[in-house]
Amino acid sequence: MLTTQQTEFKMMDNGTETLTDSRSSSSADLKTLSEMDLRKPLTEIVDLRLKHPLENTWTLWYLENDRSKNWEDMQNEITSFDMVEDFWSLYNHIKPPSEIRVGSDYSLFKKGIQPMWEDDANKFGGRWVINMGRGSKVELDKLWLDVLLILIGEAFDHTEEVCGAVINLRGKSNKISIWTANGHNELAVMEIGLKLRDLLVLPPHQLQYQLHKDSMSKPGSVVKAVYCV
C-alpha cells in the first residue's frame, strides 16, 4: 500500500525510477522487449516499462457550487489515470483541497462510477464519514492525500466494495467520506471502516457509516449512523 511517508518505489529528481538492478540483458528483460510492439517510439516503450500500474482506473471529479445549475451539471470530470506516476503528476498539478472554493468538492471514484447517490454502483451503498470541523489546512490536505493513497493502493480486503471518496469543503465544517457499494454487507463495511481508522490513525468513534438512502431522504439534516468505529 502507498502512504505519504513511504512508497513502494523510489523516484529520482528528474521523475524517473531508481533501478535496483542495473542488468539490462536478463532473460526477463529480453522476453519483455520481444513482446513489445517495436513499431512504437522507443521513448513510449521505455516510459511504459518505468511506470507502475494500479489495480483499477480512477477518475477525478470537481464540483464547483453554482446556484444557476442543477447538482449533476455542477460535476466536472477532470481526468482518469491507471498508473502511480500519472496519479502524482495529476495531484501535483491541481490545487489541494484547502485552496479550492468553499462549497466545492473533489471526488475520486473508480472509472465508470459517478460521484452521486443515484449511480447504479452507489444506490444500495453508504459512506464512512470523517467530520473535520475547521481544522488546519495542512491537516486537511494530508488527510485527503492519505485517503487517496489508501484507495488507489487497494488497502482493503474487500476492495471490490470500495467505490470512491469525496471531500466536501464547507463554511462551517469540512468532511471526507469513503463510499462503498453495499451498505448491508456488514462484514465488508466494518473491515473497511476499521482499516481506515487504523491507517489514518483516527481516534475511536470519529468514523460513522451512513446509508445513502437515509441521506437522500433527509437532505441537509443529521443522518443517523448505522455503524461507528
Q: Which 3-state string (H, E, C) describes 18-32?
A: CCCCCCCCCHHHHHH
CB 84 within 8 A of CB 64: no
Is the model more confident about 35 or about 179? 179
pLDDT at 65: 83
| The predicted structure's pLDDT at residue 217 | 83
The more confidently predicted of residues 105 and 38 is 105
CATH topology of domain 53-228: RNA Cap, Translation Initiation Factor Eif4e (3.30.760)
pLDDT at position 35 is 46
174: pLDDT strictly greater than 90? yes
**Per-residue model confidence (pLDDT) at position 172:** 85
pLDDT at site 176: 97
CB 2 within 8 A of CB 153: yes
Residue 98's nearest CA partner among 60, 132, 61 is: 132
pLDDT at position 215:
87
Secondary structure of the chain: what % helix, strand, coil (to 5)? 30, 25, 45
For 23-34, how does the pLDDT look when each residue is reduced to its tens digit (9 = 90+)? 333 444 434 434
Confidence check: pLDDT of 12 > 80: no
pLDDT averaged over every residue in the chain? 82
Average of per-residue pLDDT across 203-214: 93
Cell numbers standing for residue 14? 528528474
Residue 132: predicted pLDDT: 87
Predicted TM-score (pTM) of the model is 0.78
Please report the DSSP string for 128-178 in residue order.
EEEEEET--HHHHHHHHHHHHHHHHTT-STTGGGEEEEEEE--SS-EEEEE
Q: In this structure, how many other beta carbons lie within 10 angstroms of the beta carbon of residue 34?
A: 8
* Residue 68 exposure: Cα atoms within 13 Å on the Cβ side: 0
Question: What's the rounded Cα separation, in Å, for the pair 150 and 134?
Answer: 23
Q: 52-70, pLDDT tens digit by residue?
A: 999 999 999 999 887 777 7
Q: Which positions ≥6 away from 18 have C-beta within 8 Å?
A: 9, 10, 11, 12
**Averaged pLDDT for residues 201-209:** 93
Q: Where are the domains positioned within the chain?
A: 53-228
Locate 54 and state its grid cell. 494500479
Q: Work out whether the CA dihedral 16, 17, 23, 25 comes out positive or negative.
A: negative
Predicted confidence (pLDDT) at residue 17 exceeds the cutoff of 60:
no
pLDDT at position 16 over 60: no
How much of the chain exceeds pLDDT 90, in percent? 64
Cα–Cα distance list, 95 to 62, 71, 84, 91 (Å): 11, 22, 19, 8
